[in-house]
Structure 1
Amino acid sequence: MGEAPALKKALSQRQLRMIAIGGVIGAGLFVGSGVVIKDTGPGSFITYALAGVLIIMVMRMLAEMAVANPSTGSFADYARNAMGNWAGFSVGWLYWYFWVVVVGFEAIAGAKIIRYWIPAAPIWLTALLLLVAMTATNLFSVSSFGEFEFWFAGVKVAAIIVFLVLGGLFVFGVWPHKSMDFSNLTSHGGFFPLGPAAVTVGVVTVIFSMVGAEIATIAAAESSDPERAVAKAANSVILRIAIFFVGSAFLLVTILPWNSKQVAASPFVSAFTEMGIPYADHIMNAVVLTAVLSCLNSGMYTASRMLFVLAARREAPPQLVAVTRRGVPAPAILTSSVIGLLCVIAAAFWPDTIFAFLLNSSGAVILFVYLLIAVSQIVLRYRTSPDKLKVKMWLFPILSILTAAGIFAILVQMFVQGGDNRSALTLSLLSWAVVIVLYVANRWYLSSRPEVAGVAPTEHPHRVLVLANQTVQSSELLDELRRIGADREATYYVVVPASPIETGAAASHGPLDVWEATKQVAQQRLDDTLQTLRADDLDANGELGDYRPLRALSAAVDAFHPDQIVISTLPPEDSVWDRFDVVDRARAEHQIPVTHVVARTAAQEPAS
């Protein structure tokens, strides 16, 4: 097998660094921190620290797996390798569902912020325009997404740094007419006015405001050095959470009384106003809008890449693996955008019913994904020799188990708290159950279908057309061809569809270079097969065909005029061609005998 081309550079290290830094900073920090402070008190920064520790642990586990086994599928592939296909299927579809709902939600949030300056602007129309703009950005090129996200993240990071610097000067008394003052931490009911247990209550809210750190592991697949990028993202998340989240929360409760109405409504605006900064409301609304657009942009990117990965793993329609000449997975982006658009429509016309259901049914999904990441790391770590790991989870297995237990405890707390949190947990579990049912139903359907009878095989065929891809070099197929050609009178024509799914190229290459890798792998398989047949003195030729096997077959039938067709597939439970009835449809379309060879051994997939 020839070496597959290396992944082309699409995202620069500069862009990837800022995606990693800004990915964890969403509108939830700027707006949601007020809710956390109101429910927790001055100790809210401890809540941010607790949630931050969980995110740091998850990122470290993810980095260990990603550096040891680089994959375009990231955590969906690790779940599949650790626990089976059901886990990879679950993680992929749940994560995609979470982000397409987020895309719709963020578009609505952005539209509401714009109404601050343009009160007459219809929310649904503004949301639609924002969604179209971010879709266009993602469709243009991978680097355009990276550049937009670089500047969006830059604004968010700059705003936090300015707040930390000015807030620090204000609190420590290095401010005009202001002395050092930490009294707000204790003078309004004490440090824990709602009790020490209240610190854990806000973890549920905080954990969702930190979602996005893992996006860097997906984006890294389209960078020049994925392993280095993932390792850096995992290491830098510690500093990002400590400074941006814990530092900001500490300054907010120090500058303002925790029970102030202004804190609950808009904490950063209130803090800047307290410091005497003019136009604080306009400045922070612009920053929050940037954060929303950043989340919308990265959400579209993440959802489309996960859909691309699902198609590459044969768990979504194969058309979704197609890319443009710029290496952009346009069908996956447009599909995700359409679902996001439906969420916008639901929010505009049925906010309290359909849209509320969508939000709640995806509310706890990210925690399920994080829990499966933790379990995957524990399982895979025990299967991997320690000397093969360049990045290791700290204090394994103690911290890994505690992380998984912590995530489970948050899910339990969502149920105990009741109200919207319990509703979100229940409906999210329902979403997961639907995904599992679809997975099981698909497997059952594939294994239970009867085989359609075709034209009786030719006793002594002379012109044999072979259609195969993953199994083209299998012993089962080669033995069948040798049997047919025992009298040495048969002529063979081998067609290998140039499909990124069947060649495995989509599993190890990003959208930018997947088709180049596909053609190289398919050509190598064809050449090796022809060489093997010719070594047995068989008259064999062949070509690469259309990525759609039935079209490749029809073209070859018209050109070669066979009297026997041999189609080789994997077993039904693993075969994409069986899923789409390739053998049965070939028998129906061509009045030529079709022999179906089921091979248990697939050709080696390309290296990344």
Structure 2
Amino acid sequence: MGNFEKEQGLKRELKTGQLTMMAMGCAIGTGLFLGSGLAIGTAGPGVLISYAIGAFIVLLLMGCLAEMTVAHPTSGAFGTIAEKYISPGAGFLVRYSYWIANVLAVGVEVSAIAVYMNFWFPSVPGIVWILFFAAVLIYVNCTNVHTFATFEYWFSMIKVSAIVLFILLGAYILTGGSESSASGSENFASSDQFMPFGWWGIWVAVFISLFSFLGTEQIAVTAGEAKEPDIAVPKALKATVFRLSSFYVLTMGIMLMIVPWQSAGVDKSPFVKVMEILNIPGASGIMNFIILTAALSAMNSQLYASTRMMYSLSLGKHAPAILGKLSKKGIPTWALVISTLGIFVAAGVNALLPDSSYAFMMGISMFGSIFTWLMIFISHLFFRKQWEKNGGRKLPVKMIGFPYLTILGAVLLLSLIVSTWFTPFKMMLQFGIPWLLFLLVAYLIWKKKNASHHQSNKNNHFH
């Protein structure tokens, strides 16, 4: 069992509401506010179907994840589960891939933050903001888990209220509250078709929609610090998926009716465009502030997740022992330090490729997350068989339609990954495949080195 017992050092302080808000916080990052423009440009109004398919895949994923997390609430989450039920190698690949995904996702958010701050301070170079906000968030992550969760709760609260407000304002414009005549369902039809780019466009946009849902799997990571994982985790997972899918689909629908889809780009958030139509004074400033909060909160949770994964790797003896040390407040400080790498990578990429840094980092961090999702489905196939065979306790949540729905989720994800080769997101595979091979080689070298110590360690490992 090894890791499951070892990861009990973290303090269990997080409540259901905090878990839900953290997952929402992580998922409602720049994906919704900035990525939505990209998705609309790829699929046209048919993007609604894309988001629905995306939400369906996430729903399947959460079903599998909830069952496994309740069985094993540790901060190594799906990494520890892949190690136990598939193989140590699988656990190694999942944890390191998820770690790099989050480390670089922090970089993605931070490059976005530089863009948002530019709105108010056009003359200040982006790097200044990157370093300033990095310092603040590292500080928040160094204090205890409770402070971190409170911070995240309010961050998420601002975003969620903003989206609800946006939906209400949009409904007001659509029901004729505003003078603007160009809105309404004719925006769907004005392009003469709902799917200007056919099914292919819709399929590619499913991939972008998944980027908006990334982060929901964090509930599994936070479960290692949850008060009553049996109750909190399933509840938080359900709430997150339903809230997110309704938020996304409603927001998208309203946005498409108000802003002609042809003009939704990545230069300005579709949200700001809607507020400009309403002539709200300082609208774009208000929106910019909300989007900034979104990016900061996503960055905050990603830093948390990568720190906990590195901590778990160290306990599994896959990373230097110092990274598994906890501070007096129960925080893996060294794991946190090494997880801030993404911020500096981002700062570098931002300086070298100021125009394409967002897309580049997004492609890279995307691979680690999607690979982790795929492994969650695969782990579930192994997990359920062994759990029943070993007569594990009856779990409060159970994924329905096993094994068919688990396999369906894996197949859908795999086909999306393969399709990206034929899209502008090709860099995800160009970076991801070499990364996996590199990890595989690293694992084999590590295993060989440890084979000699193995006999002596084996006896301690099971105690």
Query: Is the pair's TM-score, using the shorter chain for normalization, greater than 0.5?
Result: yes
Residue 151 (structure 2) pairs with residue 151 (structure 1): no
Q: For 1:326, which of 329, 332, 342 is the aligned residue?
A: 329
- What corresponds to 1:127 in structure 2? 130
CA 1:413–1:351: 2 relative to 1, 3 Å: same
Is contact 1:12–1:224 with CA below 8 Å preserved after alignment? yes
Q: Deviations for 1:455-487, whole angstroms, at most 9, x for unmatched residues?
A: xxxxxxxxxxxxxxxxxxxxxxxxxxxxxxxxx
Q: For 1:347, which of 316, 341, 350 is the aligned residue?
A: 350
Residue 440 (structure 2) pairs with residue 436 (structure 1): yes
- What corresponds to 2:455 in structure 1? 571
Shifted more, 45-54 versus 235-244: the winner is: 235-244
The CA deviation at 1:265 is 3.7
What pairs up with 1:116-515 in 2 under 5 angstroms?
A: 116-173=119-176, 175=177, 181-260=184-263, 265-349=268-352, 360-385=363-388, 388-417=394-423, 420-447=424-451
AA matched with 2:88:
N
The CA deviation at 1:45 is 1.3
Partner Cα distance (2:119, 2:280) in 1: 19
Give SS of 1:394's match. Answer: coil
CA 1:172–1:399: 2 relative to 1, 3 Å: farther
Partner Cα distance (1:83, 1:176) in 2: 57
The CA deviation at 1:129 is 0.9
* Larger strand share, 1 or 2: 1
What pairs up with 1:578-593 in 2 under 5 angstroms?
A: none
The CA deviation at 1:255 is 1.6
Partner Cα distance (1:125, 1:158) in 2: 29
Number of positions where the alignment pairs a residue of Structure 1 with one of Structure 2: 454
Q: Deviations for 1:393-443, whole angstroms, at most 9, x for unmatched residues?
A: 1211111111000000111110122xx422221211111111111000111
Is contact 2:18–2:153 with CA below 8 Å preserved after alignment? yes
- What corresponds to 1:26 in structure 2? 29
The CA deviation at 1:344 is 1.7
The CA deviation at 1:570 is 5.1
Partner Cα distance (1:105, 1:354) in 2: 8
CA 1:241–1:376: 2 relative to 1, 3 Å: same
Partner Cα distance (1:310, 1:364) in 2: 19
Is contact 2:35–2:266 with CA below 8 Å preserved after alignment? no
CA 1:76–1:603: 2 relative to 1, 3 Å: closer
- What corresponds to 1:37 in structure 2? 40
AA matched with 2:367:
A
Is contact 1:38–1:264 with CA below 8 Å preserved after alignment? no
Is contact 2:83–2:91 with CA below 8 Å preserved after alignment? yes
Give SS of 2:327's match. Answer: coil
Partner Cα distance (1:134, 1:65) in 2: 30
The CA deviation at 1:233 is 2.0
CA 1:6–1:33: 2 relative to 1, 3 Å: closer
The CA deviation at 1:20 is 2.8
Partner Cα distance (1:276, 1:262) in 2: 20
Partner Cα distance (2:266, 2:109) in 1: 22
CA 1:32–1:227: 2 relative to 1, 3 Å: same
Is contact 1:107–1:128 with CA below 8 Å preserved after alignment? no
Shifted more, 377-386 versus 137-146: the winner is: 377-386
- What corresponds to 1:581 in structure 2? none
RMSD over aligned Cα, in angstroms? Answer: 2.6
- What corresponds to 1:546 in structure 2? none
AA matched with 2:443:
Y
Larger-gyration structure (1/2): 1
The CA deviation at 1:135 is 0.3
Q: Deviations for 1:354-407, whole angstroms, at most 9, x for unmatched residues?
A: 998765444322111100000000111122229723211121111111100000
Partner Cα distance (1:196, 1:439) in 2: 40
Partner Cα distance (1:265, 1:281) in 2: 9
Partner Cα distance (2:361, 2:268) in 1: 25
Partner Cα distance (1:269, 1:413) in 2: 32
The CA deviation at 1:41 is 1.1
Is contact 1:256–1:263 with CA below 8 Å preserved after alignment? no
- What corresponds to 1:537 in structure 2? none
Partner Cα distance (1:176, 1:116) in 2: 27
Partner Cα distance (1:388, 1:172) in 2: 50
AA matched with 1:412:
V
Shifted more, 346-355 versus 245-254: the winner is: 346-355
Give SS of 1:345's match. Answer: helix
CA 1:267–1:149: 2 relative to 1, 3 Å: same
CA 1:169–1:394: 2 relative to 1, 3 Å: farther
CA 1:253–1:439: 2 relative to 1, 3 Å: same
Shifted more, 305-314 versus 339-348: the winner is: 339-348
The CA deviation at 1:264 is 6.9
Give SS of 1:41's match. Answer: helix
Give SS of 1:120's match. Answer: coil
Is contact 2:76–2:312 with CA below 8 Å preserved after alignment? yes
Give SS of 1:384's match. Answer: helix
Partner Cα distance (1:210, 1:308) in 2: 24
Partner Cα distance (2:119, 2:355) in 1: 23
TM-score of the aligned structures, taking structure 1 as reference length: 0.70
Residue 67 (structure 2) pairs with residue 64 (structure 1): yes
Give SS of 2:120's match. Answer: coil
Which structure exhibits the higher relative contact order, with contacts defined as CA atoms closer than 8 Å and separated by 6 or more residues? Answer: 2
Give SS of 2:430's match. Answer: helix
AA matched with 1:406:
L
The CA deviation at 1:350 is 5.7
Q: Deviations for 1:14-70, whole angstroms, at most 9, x for unmatched residues?
A: 322321332321111111111111111112111111111111211111101111222
CA 1:387–1:321: 2 relative to 1, 3 Å: closer
Partner Cα distance (1:337, 1:238) in 2: 28
The CA deviation at 1:251 is 0.9
Is contact 1:27–1:292 with CA below 8 Å preserved after alignment? yes
Q: Which runs of 5+ in 1 are unaligned?
A: 450-568, 576-599
Partner Cα distance (1:375, 1:188) in 2: 41
Partner Cα distance (1:359, 1:177) in 2: 38
- What corresponds to 1:94 in structure 2? 97
Partner Cα distance (2:355, 2:433) in 1: 20
The CA deviation at 1:187 is 2.2
AA matched with 1:116:
F
The CA deviation at 1:352 is 8.0
CA 1:390–1:425: 2 relative to 1, 3 Å: same
Partner Cα distance (2:254, 2:439) in 1: 43
Q: Deviations for 1:239-263, whole angstroms, at most 9, x for unmatched residues?
A: 2132211111111111222112578
